[in-house]
Amino acid sequence: MEILKAEIHGRIGTFKIDVNLTLDEGFGVIFGPSGAGKSMTLRYIAGLERPHSGLIEINGRTLFSSDKGVNLPPYKRKTAMVFQDLALFPNMTVSGNILYGMDGEEHGRRLGELIELFRLRGLEDRLPSELSGGQRQRTALARTFACEPELVLMDEPFSSLDLPLRRNLRREIRLLQKAIGTPVLYVTHDVEDIFSMGKTVFFLKDGQLIRQVESSDLMSPGKAPELFQFLDIGTRVSGLLEFSGGRIHLVWPEGRLVVPGASVEDAGLGDGDRAAVIIAPEDVKLLYPDIPVDPRLLGNTFSGAIVDRGFSNGMRSLHLESSGLLWQTVFGSRSYTELLGGNPAGIGFGVDTENAVLFPA
């Protein structure tokens, strides 16, 4: 059963929002650049803004319908929203803030459960000004879940936190969502969020839903090549297909790449056709000069200069300039230490295209 169905058509000045999304389970992430319409989409769902037209349903219950003239106020929608600024009451304690979100009886029992669940034991009598950033976040989340909503809406609630704390809270909110069972729709512009949190990912740009995709498909550039480009993940190689010597090459002005025949056939491409492939960072392998090259990389070895370095989640990343392209690669933080310790020019690398998926350029 669809948890959320939202067909939203709105306008803010000259900016139009046209979004059609469905959330079937668990945890959905709305991703896109600043100004894409992400926060406004949440506000429409919460009833804080009224769309021009459309339909919004949660668990089959109509919250908004321009055709039927239905527009439930926010307090009747059974949704809860966590804003970027958290909106905690500064003159209320942790317990007071959480109790404010409750409705019904057994407040004491429910408060105790939430205090334990959100790891706030010992902080019940503190004011928000006496809490750390993570403690304020957990208090806001506890207050949100206290009202037992049918859908929780989160508008970049971790954006003001430092990176280690954001990562800890990502893990916590995913575990909490599974434990409580309340579905969550989470807005972000952070690429890490969509890989670590989302089950279903909605890509918005310029007020339009570009694509709805399962997060597992984002690990394969062949399943969602335009999204890999949108996220700036991997290396896009475009050129002409050349059939020669029993091999198929993708040829561009500065280089050539051996590509699998099965992928060419699956894409319905032939000799001389324009084609493209996205090479995932994991398929770009650094080479030691004194170690034999993996047979899968033969024919696809290059030499490049390091133009950028990064570090994330225990992994190093590099951008290597070679053959007119910037190649992305990632590897364990302790790997290739000796190789990278010297002159960064002329680093050898190979490209594994065994599972590459081609598509018409």
Residues 6 or more apart in contact with residue 268 via CB below 8 angstroms: none
Answer yes or no: is pLDDT of 301 > 60: yes
pLDDT the model gives residue 342: 57
Q: 299 or 221, which is more confident?
A: 299
Q: Looking up tokens 């219950």, which residue turns up?
A: 61
HSE (side-chain half, CA atoms, 13 Å) at 173 = 34
CB atoms within 10 A of CB 291: 7
Task: Pinpoint the residues of the chain covered by CATH 3.40.50.300.
Answer: 4-220
Intra-chain end-to-end CA distance of the chain, in Å:
38
Structure confidence at residue 209 (pLDDT): 92
- For residue 271, how many other CB atoms are within 10 A of its CB? 11
Contact (CB, 8 A) for 235 and 328: yes
The pLDDT of 146-170, averaged and rounded, is: 82
- Indicate whether 9 pLDDT > 80: yes
User: Phi and psi for 124 in degrees, rounded to 5?
Assistant: -55, -35
Looking at 59-73, 119-133, 204-218, 315-329, which range is the least confident one? 204-218
Burial 129-161 (b: 16+ CB within 10 A, else e): eebeebbbbbbbbbbbbbbebbbbbbbbbbeeb
Res 167: pLDDT? 76
pLDDT tops 70 at residue 210:
yes
Residue 189: predicted pLDDT: 82
Of 297, 298, 288, 335, nearest to 316 by C-alpha is 335
Return all residues near 152 (Cβ < 8 A) that are at least 6 apart.
79, 80, 81, 82, 144, 145, 182, 183, 184, 185
The larger pLDDT score, comparing residue 106 to residue 2, is at 2
Phi, psi of 289 (to 5 degrees): -65, -25
The structure's pTM equals 0.75
- Residue 341 tokens, joined: 């310790």
For the domain made up of 4-220, give the CATH fold: Rossmann fold (3.40.50)
User: For residue 42, what is the enclosing H or E element?
Assistant: helix 38-46
**Whole-number average pLDDT of the chain:** 86
> What's the pLDDT band for 317 if we cut at 50, 70, 90?
confident
**Is there a contact between 352 and 297 (Cβ–Cβ < 8 Å)?**
yes
Q: Taking the CA atoms of 342, 346, 352 and 353 in sequence, report the sign of the dihedral they define.
A: positive
Cβ count within 10 A of residue 117: 17
**What pLDDT digit, counting tens, does each position of 15-46 carry?**
999 999 999 878 899 988 888 999 999 999 99
Highest mean pLDDT among 156-165, 266-275, 328-337: 266-275
15-19, 103-107, 314-318 — which is least confidently predicted? 103-107
